[in-house]
Structure 1
Amino acid sequence: MAVTAIASHTKSFVQKLLQANPFWIQSCYFFSLSMAGFLLLKILPLRDATSKPTNVDLFFMSVSANTVSSMDAMEMEMFSNYQLVVLTLLMVTGGEVFVSLLGLHFAKIKSQMKDSSPDVSGMELATLSENHADLRHQKPNRMPPDMTVLDMKSSSRKHLFFVVLGYLIVLHVVGFLLILVYLRLVPDAGAVLHRKGINASMFSIFTTVSTFANCGFVLTNENMVVFRTCSGLLLIVIVQALVGNTMYASSLRAVIWLLKKLTKRQEYDYLLNNYGEMGYDHLLPGPHAFDHILTECYTAMVDNGLSKEMLL
């Protein structure tokens, strides 16, 4: 009885949460994480015990990390490794890809609850013909004979969730390993961290997360200026910034296309052809994704040209 009551209350809470205004949900999400981050930063010891930052400074750093705004009120070399772990988690949970993943997860739960509701199932069957009419405006999908449109849509949404989750994890792991290996192989880069007493592993994961989330925090007080001669490290950081931010939508579509070719799963074909039904803003149609790549490349070349002219 107790388990049933808990399950019932949990389901009721989730239903109310899904019906709430997204603005208030996100506001509570970011405020709660920022407050938790502030408390942890205050409790955990600083690297320099003589430093006495104010509560406003610590709260500002917590909010800045969670909202990936890259504004700091303290020198990064003041924080201990434990505090850096807190800032890293704040950047992960505040990054665009992670937040969109949470939205995708809630959309999946909402869809499952909607499909399981007896009051809604009749409406779904009544509008099934309208769904087929809408699909005729998009590319056809070869669905298995035992799978309906609703089943394919639900399965495709699940696949999209795990694709985004895998994208997030794999790129963070790869970025961390690339930076760590570079620091080991290039003495000049490793010497900078050794001179400042910064752990190479912590620097690698922190820089990867910060760059992917478009936060811009670096563990050195001079930011990336001290690595201006380390072109390999800068290239790694550039790629991380692109695939985690401006090129994310195009990269995501490329990953789904590759998975479709490798696995032959119909869900990936459905995602590519019926992107609008997923309710995921980062899933773009093919032409838009390609145009996005061209626009970013053109913008990068123009910025590079302007920078050279200013130096001359």
Structure 2
Amino acid sequence: MNPFNRFFVFRVNSFSLNLFYFLFLSFAGYWILIYLGTRPGADVPRTIDYVFTAVSTATDSSMSVIEMEAFSNSQLLFMTFLMFVGGEVFVSVVVLTLKAFRVRTKSRMAAEEEEKSRATPTSSPPGDHRHELELSVGKDDRAPSPSSIDDQERILESKSVQFLSFICLCYLIVIHIFGVALLSAYVTLSPSASRVLEDKGIKRLTFALFTAVSTFGSCGFIPTNENMIVFRHNTVMQLILIPQVLMGNTMFPPCLRLCVWLTGKLWKAKSDCTEYLLRKSKRIGFYHLLPGRESAWLTATVVIFLAVQFALFLGTDWWSEGLIGLNTVEKLVGALFLTVNARHSGETIVDLNTISAASLVVFVVMMVPSALYVLPSHEGRA
């Protein structure tokens, strides 16, 4: 076996790979952001500001010390790329691809070891053929040996993990295509949204790309200084973004399992892989592919948490300063948008200083379970 493959399989762990990956993205992002330069007339950021922004963008942390409108169009597009490759779903594709490579390599190593053991002659006295006779008696070539069954299991696992990475990649691309297309169409057809972007000198396609990637990746960056406050009356835009927030965060595991199930129904040639993924989800070791019961439980908790937070926010802030000037529909959609984003990406249509302290406490409390899957334990399930 290639020494590099052996070193990669047995010596390199996931933590080291992730650390190297994000350090590389952060430092590369820092240098490229400096090279691209800010808008003409904008203040030149300090070095530490660029470093902080690059790290925040690569890790989808949505913290910045530079005004978003100071970035040039090329910088916004590059930040979009950083958010895309640093997003959890894209990283999952990379992790699954590496996992499939490891499983395939270990299977190949096991096969080589077995061939070596078979090639090694057994020690027996000269002329003594009793050992060979004992092996030949009752031998059934049709019965697979335990080692061959293990090899088949490893091969199927490797194929299934590789196919799962393909499903995740398709999931990622399709949702982004729909998100960018819908946002582009909306900002083109909506006079108010178009006017905002024109006044700020932001290109429509750049805005659609940046916002779709940021929202799905739970980053929360919007290429305006006011975040989504300037679009507080644009309920359609908020409704476009809400599903992307959910499908890129806590609803990703249930959506992924649904995609695997649908793929098995529609693509019969891959039914063996999809059945293995659905039956052996815990054996795969991929955190986002949950068994059926856990997926249903996660969906229920997401709906319950959102409903509770939505009701509490409306009850305490219906007449608050932040919602003044909005009609009933805009208040309802805006409250839902705030509720979803408080638990996920952090985009907002109001100044947080204008909402009640009770709502802020609820937002803080709801941020804790949003980062964790509140699931019952089923250790005995495969």
Question: What is the match of residue 62 of structure 2?
Answer: 70
> Aligned pair in 2 of structure 1 residues 296, 222: CA closer, same or farther (>3 Å)?
same
Unaligned regions of 5+ residues in structure 1, if any?
1-7, 132-146
Cα separation, partners in 2 of 1:242 and 1:165, compared to 1, 3 Å:
same
In 1, Cα distance between the equivalents of 2:167 and 2:292?
Answer: 17
2:332 maps to what in 1? none
The 5 Å alignment of 1:1-312 reads 11-18=2-9, 19-118=11-110, 122=114, 148-264=152-268, 265-312=271-318
1:167 counterpart SS class: helix
SS at match of 2:247: helix
Distance in 2 separating the partners of 1:238 and 1:33:
28
Q: What does the per-residue CA deviation read over 1:187-241, in whole Å, with 9 as the maximum and x for residues that have no partner?
A: 1112111111100000001001101111000001000111111111111111111
Matched letter for residue 181 of structure 1 = A
Structure with the greater alpha carbon radius of gyration:
2
CA distance in 2, matches of 1:50, 1:220: 14
SS state of the match for residue 17, structure 1?
Answer: helix
Using the TM superposition, give the Cα deviation of residue 148 of structure 1 relative to its aligned residue in structure 2, in angstroms.
3.4
Letter in 1 for 2:195: A
Percentage of identical aligned residues: 38
Please state how far the C-alpha of 1:128 moved relative to its aligned partner.
6.6
Report the alpha carbon displacement of residue 180 of structure 1 after superposing the two structures with TM: 0.5
Q: Which has the higher helix share?
A: 1
Aligned AA (1:299): F
Counterpart Cα distance in 1 of 2:201 and 2:3: 51
Q: TM-score, normalised by structure 1?
A: 0.86
1:13 is matched by which residue type in structure 2? F
Shift of 1:112: 1.4
Deviations 1:262-306 (A, max 9, x none): 123221122111112222111111111111111101111111111
Q: How many Å apart are 1:159 and its aligned residue?
A: 1.4
| C-alpha RMSD over aligned residues | 2.0
Cα distance in 2, alignment partners of residues 251 and 279 from structure 1: 17
Instruction: Give the letter aligned to residue 86 of structure 2.
Output: G
Distance 1:224 1:14, change over 3 A: farther
Summarize deviations over 1:118-146 as a string: whole Å, max 9, x none.
566539x75677x6xxxxxxxxxxxxxxx
Preserved CA contact (<8 Å) 2:22 2:59: yes
Distance 2:110 2:312 in 1: 61
Q: What's the offset of the Cα at 1:117?
A: 1.5
Contact 2:92–2:165 under 8 Å retained in 1: no
What TM-score comes out, normalization by structure 2 length?
0.71
Partner-residue secondary structure (3-state), 2:249: helix
**Distance apart, 1:309 and its partner CA:** 1.7
Whole-angstrom CA distance in 1 between matches of 2:190 and 2:305? 31
Partner AA of 1:43 in structure 2: Y
What code does the residue aligned with 2:241 have? V
Q: Determine helix, strand or coil for the equivalent of 1:245.
A: coil
Letter in 2 for 1:277: R
Shift in CA distance, 27/201, structure 1 to aligned 2, threshold 3 Å: same
The answer as to whether partners of 2:53 and 2:66 remain within 8 angstroms in 1 is yes
| Partner-residue secondary structure (3-state), 1:23 | helix
Quote how far apart the aligned CAs of 1:260 are. Answer: 1.4
Shift of 1:17: 3.4
Question: Post-superposition shift, 1:14?
Answer: 4.3
